[in-house]
Amino acid sequence: MINKLFIIFKKDFLSARRDAMATYIMVIPLILAVGITLFAPGLNDTTVKLAMLKSDDIEHIEYMEQFSKVELFDSMDELERRVEKRDDIAAIAPNGNSYEIILQGNESEIVEEYAVLLNTYYELGSTKEETTAQLISFGRTVPPLKTMLVNILILMTIMLAGMLIAISIVEEKAENTINAINVTPISQTAFVVGKSLFGSTVAMLGIIGAVLITGFYDINWFMIVLVGLTSMILSLVVGFIQGLSSEDIMEAAGSVKLLFLPIAGSIAVYELLADKWQWTMYWSPFYWAYKANTMILSKTADWGTVLLCTAMVIGLSLIVYLLSLPKIRKGLS
């Protein structure tokens, strides 16, 4: 049995190498991880931007630079043209003995609030030197936005593996190799597991590489591998069902599109909704995988929660698998 599984794994590996498929599953997450590493610092530092006049009081400019990104302009015309551009930026310009805040009118409320607040503190003469406040740090260096992007990358890789399995099965169906399997000594289960081994191994390597590139070295690797492997079961089940139930590549493409819904929904609910609404996504295994990964990457995970999340992923995947078993059998026969 093990030997046969390995033969299918090897066959898949060789044919995938010809099509550069394995390279895609492994290399794409790595390239995206490099992108996140370059991209995340800028995305994290999105303090409100201010436009000011070069002729303004240097003290005023320096004061504002402590709290926001400041762009300087030669004239009021230039200043107003900058404010009218597509992004959110507020201007603070002298107006008689005081200052005025200039907005385009479609900025988010926080931009106006922030600009008003900063100018208020400036006019009150409030400085860092007179503070009684103390800052105490937990020493975390990875911003939540980066954690979120890496977590999305992990889910995308899992989905990528599922998509590729679905596509490879549809192509095997088109070439009638699935029928050929039925007349070989390889059982249907061995075929399913063998095909899965390839996708999951390569995707797992891609995930580990991506997590390392993005700088998450000191996380609990046992936990991340456990969640990764259980999530793979999910993507394999989904990939198989999509591949076997799709008559052609168009149907597989449609199913892939549908798969975006529970993934995007799980992320949106976890990140945006209050605790009392989290239950709305309990049915989605992607939700549990995302939750577990978030806790592991932010180093707040405990084994109890991680095991609960993985049990939910496995349980829900098994339910989907069992419900789809007749379809899988039909697709293989």
Partner 1 sequence: MKLLSNYLKEMKIAARGFYFYIEIAMAIILLAILLLAVSETSTSNRKQFIYNDMPQKIVEYLKDRSIEKGEARLANSTEFKLKPMEFEIMNQETGETTAYDFDDEKIIELETIQMLDSSTGELDETVYYVETEEDMIRLAYGESEMGVTAAMNARGKVSYQYYLQGYETDRLKNLLYILQNESRDAVNAKKDKQVVRTLEVTETLNNRENLVPIFIAYMGSLMGFFIVMAYIFYDKAEGVIRAFAVTPASIWKYLISKIFVILTTVVVSSSIITIPVMGGQPNYLLFYIFLIITTFAIASLGLLVASFFDSISKAFGVMYAIMISLMIPAFSYYIPSFDPLWLRFFPSYPLLQGFKEIMLNGDARYVLTYSFVFLVGGLILFVLADIRFKKTLTV
The residues in 75-94 that bind partner 1, with binding defined as CB under 8 A, are: 80, 83-84, 86-89
* DSSP three-state, residue 275: helix
Query: Could you say which of 6, 121, 222, 283 contacts partner 1 (CB under 8 A)?
Result: 121
Task: Specify the stretch interacting with partner 1 by CB under 8 A; choose among 54-62, 107-115, 206-214, 231-239.
Answer: 107-115
Q: Quick one: tokens of 24?
A: 């895609």
107 C-beta neighbours (distance < 10 Å), count: 17
Rounded distance, CA 295 to CA 305, Å?
A: 9
Residues 220-239 that bind partner 1 (CB under 8 A): none
Rounded distance, CA 22 to CA 110, Å?
A: 46
Residues 24-83 that bind partner 1 (CB under 8 A): 24, 27-28, 31-32, 39, 42-49, 66-68, 80, 83
Q: Cβ 329 to partner 1, closest distance in Å?
A: 20
Q: Cβ 325 to partner 1, closest distance in Å?
A: 21
Residues 129-188 that bind partner 1 (CB under 8 A): 130-144, 156, 160, 163-164, 167-168, 171, 174
Can residue 274 be called a binding residue for partner 1 (CB under 8 A)?
A: yes
Rounded distance, CA 201 to CA 195, Å?
A: 10
Report, in angstroms and rounded to the nearest whole number, the Rg of the chain calculated over CA atoms: 27
Q: Cβ 289 to partner 1, closest distance in Å?
A: 19
Q: Cβ 148 to partner 1, closest distance in Å?
A: 11
Count of alpha carbons within 13 angstroms of residue 40, beta-carbon side: 19
Task: Specify the stretch interacting with partner 1 by CB under 8 A; choose among 2-10, 100-108, 207-215, 231-239.
Answer: 100-108
Query: Could you say which of 3, 109, 185, 326 contacts partner 1 (CB under 8 A)?
Result: 109
Rounded distance, CA 86 to CA 80, Å?
A: 12
Rounded distance, CA 16 to CA 179, Å?
A: 20
Judged by beta carbon, residue 119 or residue 235, the one nearer partner 1 is 119
Q: Cβ 100 to partner 1, closest distance in Å?
A: 4
Judged by beta carbon, residue 67 or residue 221, the one nearer partner 1 is 67
Q: Cβ 188 to partner 1, closest distance in Å?
A: 22
Kind of pairing between the strands at 69-73 and 89-95: unpaired
Please answer whether residues 165 and 236 qualify as being in contact, where contact means their C-beta atoms are separated by less than 8 angstroms: yes
Query: Could you say which of 14, 34, 116, 325 contacts partner 1 (CB under 8 A)?
Result: 116
Task: Specify the stretch interacting with partner 1 by CB under 8 A; choose among 96-104, 217-225, 232-240, 285-293.
Answer: 96-104
Buried b (16+ CB within 10 A) or exposed e, 28-39: bbbebbeebbee
Buried b (16+ CB within 10 A) or exposed e, 162-172: bbbbbbbbbeb
In sequence order, the 6+-apart residues with CB closer than 8 A to the CB of 140 are 298, 299
Judged by beta carbon, residue 167 or residue 207, the one nearer partner 1 is 167
Residues 278-307 that bind partner 1 (CB under 8 A): 280, 298, 300, 302
Judged by beta carbon, residue 58 or residue 124, the one nearer partner 1 is 124
Rounded distance, CA 132 to CA 141, Å?
A: 25
Judged by beta carbon, residue 74 or residue 302, the one nearer partner 1 is 302
Q: Give residue 304's Cα distance to chain centre.
A: 24
